[in-house]
Structure 1
Amino acid sequence: MQYVPHGAIPDTRGFAPAIVAQELALHLPGYKHVLVSAREGLQARASWNQWPVYRFESSRLYTRVFWKWFRFNPWPLERRLAAIARKVRPDILHVHQLEFDVASFRKWLGWNLPCVVHAHVRTQRPQAIPANAYIAVSGYVRKELVDKGFDPHLVHVIHNGVNPEVFHAADVPQKMALRLALGLPVDRPIIFFFGRKQHVKGYDICLNVIEQLSAEEYRPLMVTIGPLPPGTERELGYAERQLQCDRLIQCGALLDLPARPHAELAQYLAAADMVLLPTRHEPQGMVVLEAMAMGCAVLAGATGGVLESITDDVNGGLLSADAPLEHWVSAVRYWLQNPAHRQRLGAAAAQTVKQQFEWQHAADKLDRLYQTLLKC
């Protein structure tokens, strides 16, 4: 049973834990899957890929009364999940939330169901009652968890993957056709950013880079796709960044778009000349892998799990997010002016993903972990 407490299956907004859960299920055909996720506007109980999907939703009134007024939750997610587990009787529970309360869940359930907790982040400390296994999405996350006190024997590394049927390289005629279909210019270089439009993802760096380059004769276009999560407006410099964004849109240097479905995202990636992802923190970087799979030249922040997929000047480029803006501008300018350099990096990136980061690689590792736990 796969459980994603804060995202919907099938994914509707590019939420990494939901994507990971559904892709792993798709690539483990030997199991009968039951999926549990948030509702997010989808029907209360349905199915996906012929598997049952149970959906949670807390009404605004429930949240206001119990969380905001009384600071008490009489029907916590662990209790609701236990009620479902008693019905379906799974052999193993796979939770995509590091802070999941294993002890509380087992108390409500009534027996010690084997639990696997997928660590998409590394900010939580270990609980008194641990899960049977933890999955870190990178060696970087594993080290952070172990440093926080997690049992190193319980923490396994399984990198996120890429679906090659969706994310694959396009040739030049396909690229131009996609630009026409998407309403993008065919006579200007295009820089692509996708992800959350927040400081931690380096969105401000992207805006500053295109502002510096917008007056140059080849007139590059920055295309940004992704959500603006709640609370972003409280970030330092948010108002100035929005004004900057408006200026860049008005002068034709920026196309700023909301989050897109995965298939459409792949089309935009295929139309790009390069991808700029100057993240300041990244547990692994699924967006990095997806861009690499498309054969894109990716210039990324040298941080966290990104270092486990990109080798500088071999299959992409790396810069510290704290590097002076001039370094980012100079690197992007050089890449745009040297297509052979971009093509070399992009081809090597696609090969790296094919050899190491397709979803079947991750599913095979997970299958071995499941089988080990089921034999215990």
Structure 2
Amino acid sequence: MTPRVPDDLDLPRASGVLVYVPHGAIPDRRGFAPSIVACEFAKRMRSVTLRLVAAAESDRAGSFVWEGLQLERLPNRRVYKRLCKLGIRPPGVSLPRDFLAVCKKVKPRLVHVHQMEFDIAEFGRRVGWSPAVVLHAHVLSQRPHVARGIADHYIAVSDYVKTGLASMGYPLDRIATIRNGVDTRLFKPPDPALVHFAKKRLGADPKAPILGFIGRKHDIKGYPAFLAVAERLLGRDAPLFVLAVGADPERPSGERGFCASREREARLAEGGRFLSLPAMPQSDLAELYRAIDVTLLPSLNETQGMAVIESLAAGCVTISARVGGIPETITDGVTGLLVDDPLDTDALYEKTAYVLEHLAEFASLRSAARAYAVANLDWSVSAARLEALYQSILA
């Protein structure tokens, strides 16, 4: 099955679109959604010329060509990074001198910013003109500020986010839902003959099913609940290997379950059937999915859930919660499984245990999940919609 891409994009070539990721590097190396989204969309533009601007992070600052695209890496700002870790975004913080210098040099017709607190009014004053501005809402954390100006358009990663933005006071007629996607050529079910080797590389029994968690190891992502379920499952007399992949909290003091999670991880690791890995690039992550049979992603809230759509594309049995935008992606019992309360570890345990004991029964669900991801969630589908939005603004 091939992705359904709109075929009405026979439009004249446009230029002058600058895509800005204030907090995050390009290419992404730590699983940061805005960086991943900006990269994937940029690589798939067919008629719009983009210039990318992002933080240097561990890379060298300067001008580069990446994937055939112009890329500006801005020097890291220690104060800004500290503020981001604290969740503080004072006015103007997203307008560093280096970013403004790029804008003055390039003079873009449209600026697409992956940050809702971007100060549009101050930006116009400091660069000396007012290009069109598109703000990308990955989370629901910023209410509109009249003093900062109103964007020409807002992008919501799900209908859940679109509804949330409108309820906060953002103009509904300027909000478009353009979902995050997945590279279905990279994230795909493995050749059955290779599963044995994929599991063995992780130190798992090749005959044992693997239960995986992919995402930030934070309370909001349901990591404490995942570990609680994993501990009960590993205590049974049944073959199982558990894999957790993702970044640790930058501020452990802000995570109520941090200490308990670390203690539980240490206990699980002693048994030799639990492996915790850090965040990693998409290419490495796709390799891990090939060893995973079931993912348990019990987020307490999720605007869309990139790990969810990656899991669907990889053909895993995906168990998640009926929260946020997840029900827009998973149809319960068809493309995945949902629980009503992500804090109900008994329900999570029972559902996960049943799946692990009856994996063969879920072959059709896994195929349906893969087919749905290819047809509806491939990056090319969402990129075409974004490109059409760009063209409508630039026309």
**How does the TM-score come out when normalised to structure 2?**
0.89
Equivalent residue in structure 2 for 1:96, among 100, 114, 124: 114
Shift of 1:219: 3.1
2:306 matched to which residue of 1? 286
Give the SS at the match of 1:280.
Answer: coil
Q: Secondary structure at the match of 1:130?
A: coil
User: Residue 172 of structure 2: SS of its match in structure 1?
Assistant: coil
Query: 179-188 vs 247-256, which deviates more?
Result: 179-188
3-state SS in 2 of match to 1:363 = helix
Instruction: Give the TM-score taking structure 1 as reference length.
Output: 0.93
Contact 1:79 1:105 in 2 (8 A): no
User: Which residue of structure 2 lines up, in the alignment, with residue 110 of structure 1?
Assistant: 128
Distance 2:373 2:103 in 1: 36
- The answer to whether the Cα contact below 8 Å between 2:213 and 2:243 also exists between their aligned partners in 1 is yes
AA aligned to 1:186 is P
Inter-partner Cα distance in structure 1 for 2:23 and 2:78: 15
Matched-pair contact (CA < 8 Å) for 1:299–1:316: yes
Provide the rounded CA distance (Å) in 2 between the counterparts of 1:166 and 1:43: 27
Tell me the equivalent position of 1:263. 283
Give secondary structure in 1 for the equivalent of 2:280.
Answer: coil
Consecutive unaligned residues in structure 2, runs of 5 or more: 1-17
Show the 5 A alignment for 1:260-339: 260-339=280-359
How far residue 353 of structure 1 moved from its aligned partner, in angstroms, is 0.7
Deviations 1:150-183 (A, max 9, x none): 0000110000111122111113212112223343
Shift of 1:32: 2.1
| Larger displacement relative to structure 2 (75-84 or 99-108) | 75-84
Q: Is the 8 A contact 1:289 1:309 kept in 2?
A: yes
State the Cα distance separating 1:256 from its structure 2 match: 0.8
CA change 1:240–1:323 in 2 (3 A) is closer
Distance 2:176 2:226 in 1: 34
Residue 27 (structure 2) aligns with: 10
- Map of 2:5 onto structure 1: none
Q: Tell me the equivalent position of 1:156.
A: 176
2:142 corresponds, among 124, 129, 137, to: 124
Q: CA deviation at 1:29?
A: 3.0
Partner of 2:222: 202
Distance 1:94 1:241, change over 3 A: same
Query: Residues 286 and 15 (structure 1 numbering): CA distance in 2 closer, same or farther, change over 3 Å?
Result: same
Aligned partner of 1:166 in structure 2 is 186
Q: Distance in 2 between matches of 1:311 and 1:298?
A: 11
Name which structure has the greater RCO, CA cutoff 8 Å, separation 6+. Answer: 2
Displacement of 1:274 in angstroms is: 0.6
Match of 2:53 in 1: 36
Question: 1:56 offset after TM fit, Å?
Answer: 2.2
Report runs of 4+ in structure 1 exceeding 6 Å deviation: 61-64, 71-75
Which one-letter code corresponds to 2:99 in the other structure? Answer: L
Cα-Cα RMSD: 2.1
Q: Is 2:56–2:76's contact at 8 Å kept on the other side of the alignment?
A: no
Deviation sequence 1:20-76 (CA, Å, 0-9, x none) = 001100110322221100111111112211322212234448989xxx9xx999986
The aligned counterpart of 1:351 is: 371
Distance 1:131 1:80 in 2: 22
Q: Say if 2:257 is the partner of 1:237.
A: yes
Q: Deviations over 1:181-239 (max 9, x none)?
A: 34332022110101000110010111111111112121322100000131134322321
C-alpha contact 2:156 2:175 (8 A) present in aligned 1: yes
Q: 1:40 to 1:319 in 2, by over 3 A?
A: same
Q: How far has the Cα of 1:316 moved from its partner?
A: 0.3
Between the aligned residues of both structures, percent identity stands at 37
Deviations 1:99-151 (A, max 9, x none): 11111111111111011111101111112211100000000000000000000
One-letter code aligned to 2:232: Q
Structure 2 counterparts to residues 179-218 of structure 1, below 5 A: 179-218=199-238
State the alpha-carbon separation in 2 of the partners of residues 298 and 75 from structure 1: 38
| Structure 2 counterpart of 1:41, one-letter code | S
Distance 1:311 1:277 in 2: 15
**Residue 56 of structure 1: aligned partner:** 74
Instruction: List runs of 5+ in structure 1 lacking aligned partners.
Output: none
